[in-house]
């Protein structure tokens, strides 16, 4: 199926949105370190997004109070920025969205705050790699279950667990739209992937049990066993031979290397 000009124009706007999210997360990469508060990161991200002609995609969405979701250690997703200070050995998942020209961008990255225990560093590496395993399956004619199966197999074969209740999603004029994209599943099952579909694929992988609970704030999701959780997300367009990735970790990882932090899974305690 050939996409019409209007559909291709929408995809290019979403590429612009997702590149802005990627560059916002790179601004965060410059300043993530022990002693920084997540509310300070939120302020910097909001300023950067507004300065670049967009608005925060999350702020006010269903009542969410901030620009970023900042989820520390056992918080899986939807953590609310606060005056809590980041500590050496923490991991910090930041999920960020923007809205521009009527469309959304949405991407997430998990940062290391200083050096990590080796098992936590491995959790980050495997979660990051499982995302790309899922993206390999985002091809015309495959099914949503092929994406979930690839993520699940990679994460579970390394000894980690996959969160079931929180899923990826379609992206467009709405921040969350059909289809849902679980991080587990069976090959050949689920919605058919069609050329031009825009998806957010976002593995949420736990060090311990897959079970999660919600905090009394009504937003923050954390692991029931209080062990760490990692989260990486990219927006992609389903294409015939391989997915077209709209957002990128390139700018983030360049900043991490430039500021001598290294990639998150390289930061291991001696």
Coil/strand/helix, residue 147:
helix
pLDDT of residue 267: 84
Q: Does 5 score more than 80 pLDDT?
A: no
List pLDDT tens digits, range 48-75. Answer: 999 999 999 999 999 999 999 999 999 9
- Token pair 């969205």 is at which residue? 97
Q: Does 18 score more than 80 pLDDT?
A: yes
- Its CATH class, for the domain covering 5-266, is alpha beta
List pLDDT tens digits, range 91-104. Answer: 999 999 999 999 99
- Residue 197 pLDDT level (bands cut at 50, 70, 90): very high
pLDDT of residue 3: 60
Q: Does 2 score more than 50 pLDDT?
A: no
Q: Pick left, alpha or beta for residue 159 (phi over 0 → left; psi -120 to 50 → alpha; otherwise beta).
A: left
* Residues in CB range of 226: below 8 A, 6 or more apart: 74
Alpha-carbon span 54 to 187, nearest angstrom: 38
């Amino acid at each position: 199926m050939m996409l019409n000009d209007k559909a291709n124009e929408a995809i290019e706007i979403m590429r612009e949105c997702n590149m802005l999210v990627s560059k916002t997360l790179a601004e965060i990469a410059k300043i993530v370190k022990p002693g920084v508060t997540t509310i300070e990161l939120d302020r910097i991200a909001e300023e950067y997004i507004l300065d670049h002609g967009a608005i925060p995609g999350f702020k006010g969405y269903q009542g969410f109070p901030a620009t970023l979701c900042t989820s520390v250690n056992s918080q899986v997703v939807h953590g609310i920025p606060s005056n809590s200070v980041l500590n050496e050995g923490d991991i910090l998942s930041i999920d960020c969205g923007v809205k521009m020209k009527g469309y959304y961008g949405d991407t997430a990255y998990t940062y290391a705050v200083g050096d990590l225990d080796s098992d936590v560093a491995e959790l980050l590496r495997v979660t990051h790699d499982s995302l790309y395993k899922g993206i390999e399956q985002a091809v015309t004619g495959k099914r949503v279950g092929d994406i979930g199966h690839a993520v699940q197999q990679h994460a579970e074969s390394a000894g980690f667990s996959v969160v079931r209740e929180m899923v990826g999603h379609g992206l467009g004029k709405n921040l969350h739209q059909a289809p849902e994209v679980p991080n587990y599943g069976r090959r050949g099952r689920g919605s058919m992937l069609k050329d031009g579909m825009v998806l957010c694929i976002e593995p949420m992988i736990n060090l311990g049990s897959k079970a999660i609970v919600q905090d009394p704030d009504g937003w923050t999701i954390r692991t029931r066993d209080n062990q760490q959780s990692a989260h990486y997300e990219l927006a992609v367009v389903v294409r015939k031979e391989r997915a077209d990735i709209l957002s990128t970790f390139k700018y983030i990882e360049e900043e991490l290397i430039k500021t001598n932090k290294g990639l998150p899974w390289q930061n291991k305690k001696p």
